[in-house]
């Protein structure tokens, strides 16, 4: 079970004519509370260096970035200050609140899709 179970997340991936030299721009159209997703929906992720030309490697890297429970701290990836503070503050209650808000945003995502 992950924090994303039963969620429906809509993302947009824009490829430049200079792909794979230029990484695609990936943006969540669904609001999500995550330390690697900026408030405007832009996600910070890194595809495998030897597979940058493979479109699937970008999709896999996005999923991995979202689901990774214990990533290495990287100050270059601070894109959501509020989520980042909760995720990395070192206190159990902070991380608990972070996961609660992440799950809530995923649950709310299902309301954006018609039944």
3-state secondary structure of 17: coil
DSSP H or E segment with residue 28: strand 25-28
Quick one: pLDDT at residue 5?
A: 84
* Residue 109 phi, psi dihedral angles, 5° rounding: -65, -30
Q: Torsion angle of alpha carbons 83, 85, 89, 91, nearest 10°?
A: -50
pLDDT at 115: 59
Q: Are 107 and 33 in contact (CB under 8 A)?
A: no
Enumerate domains of the chain plus CATH numbers: 11-112 (3.10.110.10)
Which segments in the chain show pLDDT lower than 50? Answer: none
- pLDDT at residue 114, rounded to an integer: 66
> How high is the pLDDT of residue 112?
74
Model pLDDT for residues 27-48, shown as the tens digit of each residue:
999 999 999 999 999 999 998 8
Q: What is the pLDDT of residue 52?
A: 78
């Amino acid at each position: 079970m992950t924090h994303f179970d039963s969620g429906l997340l809509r993302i947009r991936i824009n490829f430049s004519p200079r792909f794979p030299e230029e990484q695609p721009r990936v943006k969540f159209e669904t609001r999500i509370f995550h330390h690697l997703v900026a408030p405007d929906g832009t996600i910070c992720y890194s595809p495998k260096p030897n597979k940058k030309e493979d479109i699937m490697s970008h999709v896999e890297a996005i999923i991995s970035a979202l689901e990774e429970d214990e990533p290495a701290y990287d100050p270059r990836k601070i894109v959501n200050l509020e989520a980042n503070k909760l995720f990395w503050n070192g206190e159990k209650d902070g991380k608990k609140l972070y996961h609660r808000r992440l799950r809530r945003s995923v649950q709310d995502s299902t309301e954006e899709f018609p039944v």
